Homo-oligomer: A and B are copies of this chain.
Amino acid sequence: MFSLSEENYLKSIYHLEAIHGKGISTNSIAKKLETKASSVTDMIKKLAEKEVLVYKKYQGVSLTTLGRKEATTIVRKHRLWEVFLVDKLNFSWDEVHDVAEQLEHIKSPKLIDELDVFLGFPKMDPHGDPIPDKEGNFQKIEKRLLSTLEEHKTGICVGVNDSSSDFLKYLDKNNISLGQKIKVLSKESFDGSLTILIHSKEITISKKISNNIYIQ
């Protein structure tokens, strides 16, 4: 059984491994969890004893199979709760994160599997992220950043890279949502900003924005 804190470490390391591969540094974990590197060292030692990750002084950490399984379960719970909040309780996609962050720590295998049934085994959460099934498997969808799309080409928004309320509200304001067609009209080479066509309206978005939108 893992504490709330341990679960949050596992989840963060899992997400960091998805981006950077094995060998996650103490500092990057500290940044992600908004804590201090010294706290991370302490916790890492504890988690290594529980055999959910491998740790060698001054080298990064890597999840074991056991650790990855545990982390996947937490991610599954988080994303299923997000679907519940949006589909059943009228939450918008920018309101779900903080609540799901709490709900993901509820311990009850029956709860989460019945929730999955109740929701109709959804494959995606409201931000386009895949939901692992009971066994921890999920489909990896093809996607690329909007910022990599060439001029005059069109893509369909399939996900976001940042689930903060601020960013999602910005997207809402500009009518950018999942399934939305986006055409790149022009690219400014100086700052990487894009002028795009969305809902037959032209808008210009910064590189930072286009770096957080996934298309297909």
A interface list, Cβ under 8 A from B: 85, 88-91, 95, 98-99, 102-103, 106-108, 110-111, 114-115, 117-118
Contacts and interface: CB of A to CB of B under 8 A. Distances in A.
Contacts of A91: 110, 114
A177 to B, nearest CB: 21
Say whether chain A's binding surface is mostly helix, strand, loop, or mixed: helix
24 contacts: A85-B111, A88-B118, A89-B110, A89-B111, A89-B114, A89-B115, A89-B117, A89-B118, A90-B114, A90-B117, A91-B110, A91-B114, A95-B110, A98-B108, A99-B106, A99-B108, A99-B110, A99-B111, A102-B106, A102-B107, A102-B108, A103-B103, A103-B106, A106-B106
Nearest to A112: B89
Contacts of A89: 110-111, 114-115, 117-118
Contacts of A107: 102
Nearest to A98: B108
A111 B82 CA distance: 12
Contacts of A98: 108
Given A89-B111, A89-B117, 14 more contacts: A85-B111, A88-B118, A89-B110, A89-B118, A90-B114, A90-B117, A91-B114, A98-B108, A99-B108, A102-B106, A102-B107, A103-B103, A103-B106, A106-B106
